[in-house]
Amino acid sequence: MTGLIAAVTSAADKRLALRTSLASESITRLPGAINPLTAKLVQEIGFEGVYVSGGAFSAALGLPDIGLTTLTEVAAHSAQIARCTDVPVLVDADTGFGEPMSAARTVTVLEDAGVAGLHLEDQVNPKRCGHLDGKAIVPTDEMVRRVRAAVSARRDPNFVICARTDAAGIDGIDAAIERAKAYVDAGADLIFTEALHTRADFEKFRGAVDTPLLANMTEFGKSQLIPAQALESIGYNAVIYPVTTLRLAMGAIERGLRVIAEEGTQETLLDEMQTRSRLYELLEYERYNEFDSGVFNFTLSRSQ
Among the options 29, 51, 236, 237, which is catalytic? Answer: 51
Contact 193, 234 (CB under 8 A): no
Q: Which long-range contacts (CB under 8 A, 24 or more apart) does 174-179 make?
A: 176/205, 177/204, 177/205, 177/208, 177/209, 178/140, 179/122, 179/140, 179/143
39 has pLDDT over 60? yes
Asked whether the CA dihedral 277, 278, 281, 282 is positive or negative, the reply is: negative
Report the percent of the chain where pLDDT is more than 90: 86
* 242-265 pLDDT, tens digit each: 999 999 999 999 999 999 999 999
Among the options 15, 29, 84, 92, which is catalytic? Answer: 92
From CA 227, how far away is CA 236, in angstroms rounded? 11
Instruction: List, in sequence order, the alpha helices (H) in the chain.
Output: 11-23, 36-45, 54-60, 71-83, 100-112, 140-153, 168-171, 173-185, 199-208, 228-234, 244-263, 276-283, 285-295
The mean pLDDT value for 135-155 works out to: 96
Report the percent of the chain where pLDDT is more than 70: 92
Using alpha carbons, select from 46, 44, 70, 48 the residue that is nearest to residue 57. Answer: 70
Q: 65 an active-site residue?
A: yes
Fold designation for 11-250: TIM Barrel (3.20.20)
Q: Domain extents for the chain? A: 11-250, 256-295
- Look at residue 303 in the predicted model and tell me its pLDDT: 44
**pTM for the full predicted model:** 0.93
Q: 156 an active-site residue?
A: no
Among the options 15, 19, 48, 65, which is catalytic? Answer: 65
Among the options 111, 201, 216, 232, which is catalytic? Answer: 216
* 79-117 pLDDT, tens digit each: 999 999 999 999 999 999 999 999 999 999 999 999 999
Q: 162 an active-site residue?
A: no
Q: 94 an active-site residue?
A: yes
1 has pLDDT over 60? no
Contact 177, 191 (CB under 8 A): no
- Measured from the Cβ of residue 35, the count of other Cβ atoms closer than 10 Å reads 17
95 three-class SS? coil
Q: 237 an active-site residue?
A: no
Among the options 15, 19, 77, 119, which is catalytic? Answer: 119
Among the options 15, 29, 77, 129, which is catalytic? Answer: 129
